[in-house]
Structure 1
Amino acid sequence: MTASSVSLHINETPPVRRELELEDGAVSFLEWKHGRGQPALHFAHANGFNGMTYSRLLSPLAGRFHIRAWDARGHGQTRLPADPSGHRRWTIFRDDLIRMVENFAAEAGGPVLLGGHSMGGTTSLMVAAERPDLVRGLILVDPVMVSRGARLMLQLFRLMGRKGGPLSLAEGAERRRAVFPDRATMAKAYKGRGAFRTWPDEVIADYVEGGTRSRDDGQIELACAPAWEAANFRAQDHDIWADIARISCPLTLIYAGATSTCRAPAPELLGRRDPQATLLRIGRATHFLPMEYPETVRREMLDLDARLSD
């Protein structure tokens, strides 16, 4: 099968929200499933986001894949403990995702294609390193690859109580407004600003819908608390470079030409792990390339699936 032979069936059926009960709470996820025998695809979101943020990216693929998109711990509708104190590495997300993918693989009858954006891409790679038996292939969309030098500097800034530098993203997250009168006001506040500058209006609406909860006073608040989002930016004690050296599955990397979090030598090292890998740099894209170039991301998902099916 070639990529060109795979037809993309546009399916506007909304996903179903489901939960996976774990010993410490429940993981909430969106699911698109149409028929039997579809290859399984799980997509993991960026820090501070949620599965619904990517629903317009993923929905057109529902005719081809059985899709799940989770809300990670501390995000969206998932009900797992998320304590920022002592949070130092993303292995907590890796371990959660392993349990999620174990369930998905059992239901799908085989390994799962893992996709993810930013933190979600990094977490998916960590799962592939730890549990290669569960992973059919990887679609990495501008994953976070913090160099060892930058990680050391971040640790030093944290220990010394210094501000700015590598901690600026965390400090910005802590200052985020968490409470709004309603979702329409929140979406309007985000439109055309900051990280949302290049996002289509409908994707902002999905992000707000999937990432908020109602309060007793009638207002709405972010489901991902600013303190948890900030803690995730700081929590870089995991060694992603050691994980890269352990992966063995086919992969595709799509990364941004501007403001990318996938810095050298990550693309070269990933290419060494899979000599047939697609390593696609989109020069005009920012870190938010799934929102800016969804057609490209979908095309590469189909292309990797076609390569795995040959």
Structure 2
Amino acid sequence: MPQGPARSAPAADPPTRPARLSATPLPHAGTLPPPWPGEQVPVRGGAVFVRRTPWAGPVDGGAAGAPRERALYVHGLGGASTNWTDLAALLAVRVDGWSLDLPGFGRSRPPARSSYSVRGHVRAVVDVLERVAAEPGEAAGRPVHLLGNSLGGLVSLAVAARRPDLVATLTLVSPAMPVRRVPRALSRTLLLLLLPGVPALAERRLSGVTPEQQVRGMVQACFGDPRRVPRERLEQALEEARERAGQPWATRALTRSMRGLITSYLRVGPGSAWRLARSLRPPTLVVWGDRDRLVDPALAPRLAAAVPGARLLVLPGVGHVAMLEAAEPVARAVLALAEDAAGERAAGDPARTP
């Protein structure tokens, strides 16, 4: 039989680049630090609560000439600025850290127009980034290291794509990237949230969940091994859940932000998340736990391959919140990214200078 024209094999994704881990000495993991203090910071349409983790310098005390940069941390859906307490304490050997509560979460009131779209969260993060970069001090006017988890990872990706001038490096911890298929257990519920009236019904049902049930469900869903969660952190999470239960907007912020996230998945063209990922310019680190139950770990190498020059760190036995469950290896990968980016900037590499 005559043969038809040969078909070319589909192009393979470029090989992923494994993350380097910094050898910089880190503080000893003794007592767990309490949540860092914070204040309300004005943004377009209102204000958000931002915590501050001060630079501590090298653990050996040789502060003279040591790098002092800045970082901003962005939490995920249903989370808060306190999700970054442990990682921020480790990274304080190099950076001053700021961690915000997205509008409607933590201690941040809802946005003025009650819009919880991804774009709305992006605007809030850009406003805080601009403020952090403009703070007086040694690193004033320089780009900021941006780190985001889950919804905060998707928001941070969009911020870095649209405002690369503000971002020194980008770290994405299990970012909520769009997928063609969602788990069967979630797909019907997620699609229902797009229907008129359904979010209000979801709010009523969520309002009946006790703080204890919320924390128990969060630990089971977000951690690869729930037994790793220190008792102090469980008690703090329960205290936060009780505080949040007294906020009349809490369940609305959760359901409407989930709806905004799903709506963003339907976006196509230049504004889609995967298109934005391919356009990223800042040095990027992708971090994932291989026991992530909320965002498929199979997306990790795909995202790392899509982002030009990205590094990939996959942590065995870890779940959705690697910065909480495996703070030290995440800190070492972030520090290595910052060290190498600083070296490239010093060498005048135009491809890596925002």
Q: Please tell me the TM-score bracket, short chain as reference.
A: 0.7 to 0.9
Q: Confirm or deny: 8 A CA contact 1:43 1:116 kept in the other structure.
A: yes
Query: CA RMSD of the aligned region, Å?
Result: 3.5
What is the 5 A alignment of 1:73-152?
73-81=103-111, 87=116, 89-107=117-135, 108-109=139-140, 110-148=142-180
**Structure number with bigger Rg:** 2
Matched, 1:18 2:39: yes
* Paired residues, number: 289
Q: How far did 1:124 drift?
A: 0.8
Q: How far did 1:260 drift?
A: 4.6
Matched, 1:271 2:305: yes
* Rounded Cα–Cα distance in structure 2 between residues aligned with 1:265 and 1:196: 22
TM-score when scaled to structure 2? 0.69
TM-score when scaled to structure 1? 0.78
Q: How far did 1:55 drift?
A: 1.2
* Rounded Cα–Cα distance in structure 1 between residues aligned with 2:105 and 2:314: 29
Shift in CA distance, 299/82, structure 1 to aligned 2, threshold 3 Å: farther
Q: Confirm or deny: 8 A CA contact 2:149 2:174 kept in the other structure.
A: yes
* Alignment gaps of 5+ in structure 2: 1-19, 58-66, 221-225, 265-271, 344-354
Q: How far did 1:52 drift?
A: 1.6
Q: How far did 1:234 drift?
A: 2.0
Instruction: Tell me which residue corresponds to 1:9.
Output: 27
% of aligned pairs identical?
Answer: 26
Q: Confirm or deny: 8 A CA contact 2:73 2:99 kept in the other structure.
A: yes
Query: Any idea what the Cα deviations from partners look like across 1:151-199, whole Å, max 9, x if unmatched?
Result: x988864556798xxx9xx98776334686xxxxx4x5556x3221323
Q: Confirm or deny: 8 A CA contact 2:288 2:297 kept in the other structure.
A: no
Q: Confirm or deny: 8 A CA contact 1:249 1:274 kept in the other structure.
A: no
Q: Which amino acid aligns with 2:305?
A: G
* Rounded Cα–Cα distance in structure 2 between residues aligned with 1:267 and 1:177: 37
Query: Any idea what the Cα deviations from partners look like across 1:132-151, whole Å, max 9, x if unmatched?
Result: 1000111111110122566x
1:33 corresponds to which of 43, 46, 54: 54
Q: Confirm or deny: 8 A CA contact 1:256 1:282 kept in the other structure.
A: yes
Provide runs of 4+ in structure 1 moved above 6 Å: 152-155, 170-173
Matched, 1:59 2:52: no
Instruction: Tell me which residue corresponds to 1:48.
Output: 78
* Rounded Cα–Cα distance in structure 2 between residues aligned with 1:38 and 1:6: 14
* Rounded Cα–Cα distance in structure 2 between residues aligned with 1:123 and 1:90: 6
* Rounded Cα–Cα distance in structure 2 between residues aligned with 1:245 and 1:171: 38
Matched, 1:306 2:349: no
1:69 corresponds to which of 78, 99, 103: 99
* Alignment gaps of 5+ in structure 1: 181-185, 215-219
Q: How far did 1:208 drift?
A: 4.0
Please give the secondary structure, in 2, of the residue aligned with 1:29.
strand
Q: How far did 1:98 drift?
A: 0.4
Shift in CA distance, 100/223, structure 1 to aligned 2, threshold 3 Å: farther
* Rounded Cα–Cα distance in structure 2 between residues aligned with 1:32 and 1:158: 36
Q: Confirm or deny: 8 A CA contact 1:38 1:64 kept in the other structure.
A: yes
Please give the secondary structure, in 1, of the residue aligned with 2:49.
strand
Shift in CA distance, 56/160, structure 1 to aligned 2, threshold 3 Å: closer
